[in-house]
Amino acid sequence: MERPAPHAPASGSTLPSHTGWLRRHLRVYAALWRNAVTREMTFKTNFLLWIVVELLWFALQLCFIGVLYLHTESIGTWTKWQVVLLVGTSHFIQEIFQAFFLINCANLSELVRTGKLDFLLLLPANSRFLVSLRQVDLGSFVNAATALVVMGYAVHQLGLELTAGRLLAFSALCLCGILVHYSLMFLLASVSFWTVKAQGIVWGYYNLFQLARMPDEAFRGLFRVVFTFVFPVLLVTNVPVRVLAEKLDSPFWPCLLVLLAAGCLAVSEWGWRISLRRYTSASS
C-alpha cells in the first residue's frame, strides 16, 4: 500500500500549531482519496455491481411506499410524496455516511481482532481520524446522486418553494443527521473491543437505521421516546424533511437534532477513549 507520508512535515515551523495539524491531516486524507480511486479502478466490475445493489435496495424502499399508499391516503399527516421525500433524504444521508465512514467502522472489529490497530495507533496522526476515514467508498457518491434525483422529483410533485434559507437549514440538518449516523455506528463498532467477534455490527446498524426512513408520526410511547432522545434515529431524516416540506410544528425539533448530534459525537469520543484503554493488541 502507498504510505501516506507519515513524517510529513514540519517544514518551516517546528512547533505543532493548529493549522499545521490541520494541513498535515488534510494531506494524509488526500493520499487516502488517491488510494481509494486506485482501489476502485482495480475492481471496476465490482465497483459497478455495488452501485447496482444499492440502487436496487433504494428502488425496493420506494416500491414499499408505493404499495402502502395503494391502501391508504396518509400515514398520520404524511402524504405519499412527503414520504417519498423522506425515503429519498434518508437514502441520501445514508449514502454520504457510507461514502466516508461505514466500511471503516465495520472494519474496526477486524483491526482489533488481528492486532493491526497497532500500526494505526503508532502513526503520527490522530488515531480516531485514521480509523474513521481510512477508506473512501466512491460508489456511494453515485448513489447519493440518485437519491438527490428522487428528492428533486418529490419536491416538484409537492410543489414546494425552495428558498435559500430553507435549503441551507435542510443541508445543515442533514449534516447533523450524518453525524448521528457516524457517532452511533462508531459507538457500536467500539463494542468490538469487548466482544472481539462483532460481525453483527453492520447488521445491527442496518436494523437501527431502517427507522430513519419511516414517518415519525407512526410511532408512539416508549419506542418513540427511546429512538428520539436516546438513539435519535427518528430525528435524523424526519427533522430536515419537515423543514423542507413546511411540516415543522415547532423550532424545538431542529434545536434538539443539533444538540443530540453534538451529544452523540461527545459520547462516541468518550466510548472510543475507554475502549482504547482496554486495547491490549493481539499476538502476532
Partner 1 sequence: MNPALSSSPLDLRPASSRQAAAAALRKYRQVVALGIQNHLAYRFNFLARVLFSLIPLTALLMLWRTIYAGQPEGDTVSGYTLPQMLAYYLVAAWVNALTAVTEDDWQIAADIRDGNINHLLAKPLDYLGYRLCLFFSGRIIYAGVALLPLILYVWLAGVPVHVPTNPATWICFLVSLVLTALLQFFISFALAMLAFWVLEVSTFIFIVYAFEYIASGHLFPLDILPETLRRLLPWTPFPYELYFPVSIYLEKTTGPDLWQGLALQTGWVAAGWALARWAWHRGLRRYGAVGG
- Which residues contact partner 1 (rule: CB under 8 A)? 43, 46, 49-50, 52-53, 56-57, 60, 63-64, 67-68, 70-76, 195, 197, 199-200, 203-204, 207-208, 210-211, 214, 217-220, 223
Give yes or no for a contact between 210 and 121, defined as CB atoms under 8 angstroms apart: no
Residue 247: strand, helix, or coil: coil
For 82, other C-beta atoms within 10 Å of its C-beta total 22
Residue 78: strand, helix, or coil: strand
Of 165, 176, 203, nearest to 93 (Cα)? 176
Nearer to partner 1, 54 or 245 (CB): 54
Nearer to partner 1, 4 or 109 (CB): 109
Residue type, 233: V
- Residue 198 to residues 99, 189, 227: CA-CA distances in angstroms? 21, 8, 23
Nearer to partner 1, 171 or 207 (CB): 207
| Minimal distance, residue 150 CB to partner 1, in Å | 17
| Minimal distance, residue 267 CB to partner 1, in Å | 20
Nearer to partner 1, 119 or 223 (CB): 223
| Minimal distance, residue 212 CB to partner 1, in Å | 10
| Minimal distance, residue 141 CB to partner 1, in Å | 18
Nearer to partner 1, 130 or 214 (CB): 214
| Minimal distance, residue 4 CB to partner 1, in Å | 26
| Minimal distance, residue 160 CB to partner 1, in Å | 23
Radius of gyration of the chain (CA): 20
Of 225, 244, 104, nearest to 174 (Cα)? 244
Residue 166 half-sphere exposure toward CB, CA atoms < 13 A: 13
| Minimal distance, residue 113 CB to partner 1, in Å | 14
Local structure of residue 100 (DSSP, 8 states): I
Nearer to partner 1, 129 or 141 (CB): 141
- Determine whether 27 is exposed, middle or buried from the number of CB atoms within 10 Å of its CB (0-12, 13-18, 19+): middle
Local structure of residue 212 (DSSP, 8 states): G
- Residue 107 to residues 2, 32, 78, 114, 146: CA-CA distances in angstroms? 19, 16, 38, 11, 26
Nearer to partner 1, 60 or 122 (CB): 60
Nearer to partner 1, 6 or 66 (CB): 66
- Residue 178 to residues 4, 98, 131, 239: CA-CA distances in angstroms? 26, 9, 17, 13
| Minimal distance, residue 167 CB to partner 1, in Å | 29
